[in-house]
Structure 1
Amino acid sequence: MVGSPLADPWPAPRPTSPVTSTISLPGSKSLTNRALILAALADGPSVVRRPLRSRDTLLMTAALAAMGIGVVDEGDDWRITPADLTHDADVDCGLAGTVMRFVPPVAGLSTGRISFDGDPHMRNRPVGEVLAALGGLGVDIDDGGRGSLPFTVRGHGSVRGGTVVIDASASSQFISALLLAGARYDEGVDVRHDGKPVPSLPHIDMTISMLRARGVEVDDTDANRWAVAPGPIGAVDEAIEPDLSNAAPFLALAATTGGEITIRDWPSSTTQPGDELREVLTRMGCEVSLDDVGLTVRGAGQLHGVDLDLHDVGELTPAIAALCALADSPSHLRGIGHIRGHETDRLAALARELGNLGADVTEHADGLSIRPATLHGGVFRTYADHRMAHAGVIIGSAVGGVLVEDIETTAKTFPDFAGAWLDLTGPALVEHR
């Protein structure tokens, strides 16, 4: 399958027997791109071990290299060597929110002119709060007053830093972006949130944990305030955990087929939001266990509906919504209005695409209500969104004739996802209609 051209739309395989397997997943995108930023700003060379190599992370390494950071491919690892940032550069953000939001605070430390743009949809994704904050901290920003791509950062070799007030209710990445670079600012950075609750708080915890591991002082004792003291960022070699959010479709396969899937090397303690899958799948009727080998999910042959607040783990919504569409009782997913600003408006897209396959879905301002219904085959559109593709293959694992549009969009965080999915389901044991 690897390297073979893929049909578009892609026939999602429906296993005819329970799927049982133990698999290894690529590294976490969230951890990889944070580790790359911190390595680029560190006080010496360091190695990012077993990073995810996907479109998002390759865009990040390309952005750092364009600004003058040393990026050397060492087989399984990347060696990162910090440097004075003096280059003019053009940064392609693609569809990577982490590149669009995390790199501009670094670019503020450059003496070059750093221009940012990305895929057409990225011009709709919010970044204005980060740009306004940088402007308030002394960085020159030219965005034509749009608060979105394309924009240019003109640094002066240093950033004054200090206190900024932002509304991070659209994305926790606004806060992480400023914290990651803040230790290198003359006065550090004191970020204060004023607005509706910040989504995806575990991602901010991840950022703070990685900063502290490098000797950076972070004060998060007060609600809605995060302060990073000025000082060096230690050079730390870091091994990247498996991407637990990417585990969602594979663990779901155990649930939809009544099989058993083990994800190797699942950490016993982690800041990744994907760890919440353990609780969600248990509530939906699966048997879940964690041991020295990894996390194992056993399907019980029937899924139950759930009422969940996914505010802090919004990226799991597409996979969970797909499972809810296959459940035997109603579900309500709430607290996720912010995912309308992800790669696509995920709430509208899920309601539309699940509904097109027969699901009974009601879209709300901040969530979805899903009731039991008989599903059927058809085209499941993905809107260039890897998580939507995950939802499509989950439905296809239980419903014949599902065709997933643009399955290759999964390369954003999982190169050759389709090949791995076919290897797991077994081409000889599936039906496509």
Structure 2
Amino acid sequence: MAANPTAPTALWPAPHARGAVDATVHVPGSKSVTNRALVLAALASEPGWLRRPLRSRDTLLMAGALRAMGVGIDEGVGPDGSGEAWRVLPAGLRGPATVDVGNAGTVMRFLPPVAALAAGDIRFDGDPRSYERPLHGVIDALRVLGARIDDDARGALPLTVHGGGALDGGPVSIDASSSSQFVSALLLSGPRFNQGVEVRHTGRSLPSLPHIRMTVDMLRAVGAQVDTPESGGEPNVWRVTPGALLGRDLTVEPDLSNAQPFLAAALVTGGRVLIPDWPSRTTQPGDRLREIFTEMGGSCELTEYGLEFTGSGRIHGIDVDLGDVGELTPGIAAVAALADTPSTLRGVSHLRLHETDRLAALTKEINELGGDVTETADGLRIRPRKLHGGVFHTYEDHRMATAGAIIGLAVAGVQIENVATTAKTLPDFPDLWTGMLGSDGA
């Protein structure tokens, strides 16, 4: 079950759309790209630039953690004055230091391998929910690769990595079925291990494969040699050769998963939304929204300006496996609750271990607004019913908050508890949302 919601001390009246939206929404940079880029730049052999980085709770926690370990990160404008950029200055990683992971999966999983390369002790702590999220895949693997870690046998936070300044590396087998971040965490630091790393996934189906592909693409972009199943290697095996990483000048793409609520607004209201700078090629899971939301009743066109998405005025149910794109589930569930036919969302049992138990939370909150949602072994079954207003609890989960806002477009009287939790990955969401609605919002 999801954690008990906190008392609704800060309720945000979700705007109710009076008509079709027609807006251009500039979505901030990708959290997944920003945090991977920060780790790779911190491990590089020379300084690098990160342009248009996302400034959100998760990315600022990552930057703060790397600074605590000795990395220089200067925030300002790029060398040509073309907008916000971060200059990352690699340095000798060192402790003692304390890292606050908040409830950021990328911070709690990507940085223990980095800490194993530091000289000194690095302690990791975070929000209460972070103690419940699995870390055993990273902890157990690092021990096999030569690291010393104290976690009191919990396989979770809090923990201390006793950095020795280097790590042997080599082959390791892990079960990453609860989080693809276990694989990405080891690959990102792998070039700095003495023997590189060979990661073999031994569990059941691996969720969120696009995020591993993102990690591999970004590693190759900074000079790492990576062998993958897609490049002719063994199934479920990734190999990274030891070697120096290059400092790069990287521009961060818009966060396509965070574009979801705005595209959903076009679908729900029968309107049009343009997301500028949508990439023509990307490893971001959010790119699959083009396919999913088209099947649910919209249409889209990718132009030189970005992605233009248009709703038809009708929403159709969908039967879809979201195993590779689980983070999209809350928004899709919200749209499905407003559809004209039932939906089945499959392949996302791992969402029970995210910021909250997202399957239990979505079921409870949509049903309390009059919906008909049933949990299955690996997802949700959603039967459309007429919804009514009420409090939509977020469980300190940013994607629960945006899901509630989507429902509020079509259902008057929805109030979002703690909408500020969207700052985890999408700062200024309330302003972006009301700006999109303009004079059409209630």
For the aligned pair, the TM-score class normalised by the smaller chain equals over 0.9
Instruction: Determine the C-alpha separation between the residues in 2 that align with 1:312 and 1:7.
Output: 35
Residues 366-408 of structure 1 deviation map (CA, whole Å, 9 limit, x = unaligned): 1000012110000000000000001100000110000011000
Q: Distance in 2 between matches of 1:227 and 1:108?
A: 19
The one-letter amino acid of 2:75's match is D
* Structure 2 partner of 1:19: 21
- Alignment partner of 1:102 out of 110, 115, 122: 110
Query: 2:227 aligned with 1:227, yes or no?
Result: no
RMSD of aligned residue pairs (Cα, Å): 1.0
CA distance, structure 2, for counterparts of residue 389 and residue 222 of structure 1: 40
CA contact (8 A) 2:24 2:436 kept: no
Could you tell me how far 1:215 is from its partner in structure 2?
Answer: 1.2
Q: Which residue of 1 aligns with 2:258?
A: 246
Aligned to 2:39: 37
CA distance in 2, matches of 1:48, 1:346: 32
State the Cα distance separating 1:416 from its structure 2 match.
1.2
Output the CA distance in 2 between the equivalents of 1:15 and 1:165: 51
Whole-angstrom CA distance in 2 between matches of 1:156 and 1:33: 24
Given candidates 350, 366, 369, the residue that maps to 1:357 is 369
* Number of residues of Structure 1 aligned to a counterpart in Structure 2: 425
Determine helix, strand or coil for the equivalent of 1:155. Answer: strand
Per the alignment, residue 347 of structure 1 pairs with 359
Distance between the aligned counterparts of 2:204 and 2:42, measured in 1? 32
Q: 2:195 aligns with which of 187, 202, 213?
A: 187
1:213 aligns to 2:221 (yes or no): yes
Is residue 122 of structure 2 the alignment partner of residue 114 of structure 1? Answer: yes
Are positions 1:305 and 2:301 aligned together? no
1:420 aligns with 2:432: yes
Structure 1 runs (4+) deviating above 2 angstroms are 428-431
- Which residue of structure 1 aligns with residue 396 of structure 2? 384
1:174 aligns with 2:185: no
**1:153-200 deviation per Cα after TM superposition (whole angstroms, max 9, x unaligned):** 001110000000000000000000000000000000000010111100
User: 1:409 Cα shift?
Assistant: 0.2
Secondary structure at 1:343 match in 2: coil
Rounded to whole Å, the distance in 1 between the matches of 2:405 and 2:94 is 45
SS of equivalent to 1:333: strand
- Structure 2 residue 432 is matched with structure 1 residue 430: no
- Tell me the residue number matched to 1:279: 291
| TM-score of the superposed pair, with normalisation by structure 2 | 0.95
SS in 2 for 1:320: helix
Report the residue type matching 2:217 in the other structure: S
Q: What SS is found at the alignment partner of 1:278?
A: helix
* Residue 3 (structure 1) aligns with: none
Residue identity opposite 2:16 in structure 1: R
What is the match of residue 28 of structure 1? Answer: 30
Which of 395, 417, 434 is residue 405 of structure 1 equivalent to?
417
The CA deviation string for residues 292-315 of structure 1, in whole angstroms up to 9 with x for no partner, is 011111111110000000000000
Q: Which residue of 1 aligns with 2:3?
A: none
Q: Residue type of the partner of 1:93? A: V
What is the CA distance between 1:419 and its match in structure 2? Answer: 1.1
Match of 2:88 in 1: 80
Question: What letter is aligned with 1:367?
Answer: G
Deviation at 1:429, TM superposition (A): 3.2
Measure how far apart 1:355 and its partner are: 0.5
Q: Could you give the per-residue CA deviations for residues 19-65 of structure 1, whole angstroms, max 9, x where no partner exists?
A: 10112110000000000000000010001111000000000000000
Query: 1:45-90 CA distances to partner (integer Å, 9 max, x unpaired)?
Result: 0011110000000000000000000111114111001111123110
Q: What letter is aligned with 2:284?
A: Q
Give the whole-Å Cα distance in 2 for the aligned partners of 1:125 and 1:111: 27
| C-alpha separation in 2, matches of 1:144 and 1:429 | 55
Task: Kindly provide the amino acid, as one letter, of the partner of residue 413 in structure 1.
Answer: T
* Distance across 1 between alignment mates of 2:72 and 2:386: 54
Q: TM-score, normalised by structure 1?
A: 0.97
1:109-165 CA distance string (max 9 Å, x none): 011110001000010001111011001111100000001000000011100000000
2:257 and 2:419 mapped to 1: Cα distance?
Answer: 17
C-alpha distance in 1 between matches for 2:427 and 2:380: 30
Q: Which amino acid aligns with 1:236?
A: R
CA distance in 1, matches of 2:71, 2:339: 49
**SS class of match (1:14):** coil
Which residue number in structure 1 is paired with residue 132 of structure 2? 124
Instruction: Return the alpha-carbon distance in structure 2 between the equivalents of residues 111 and 430 of structure 1.
Output: 54
Unaligned stretches of 5+ in structure 2?
1-7, 78-83
Q: Note if contact 2:126-2:158 (Cα within 8 Å) is conserved in structure 1.
A: yes
Q: State the 1:362 CA deviation.
A: 0.8
Question: Which letter maps to 2:308?
Answer: T
Partner of residue 63 from structure 1, selected from 50, 62, 65: 65
Matched, 1:316 2:328: yes
Give the distance between the partners of 1:126 and 1:403, measured in 2 at CA.
31
3-state DSSP of counterpart to 1:183: helix
Instruction: Please give the secondary structure, in 2, of the residue aligned with 1:77.
Output: strand
Deviation at 1:430, TM superposition (A): 2.9
- The percentage of aligned residue pairs carrying the same residue is 59
Alignment-derived partner of residue 378 in structure 2: 366
Deviation at 1:7, TM superposition (A): 8.0
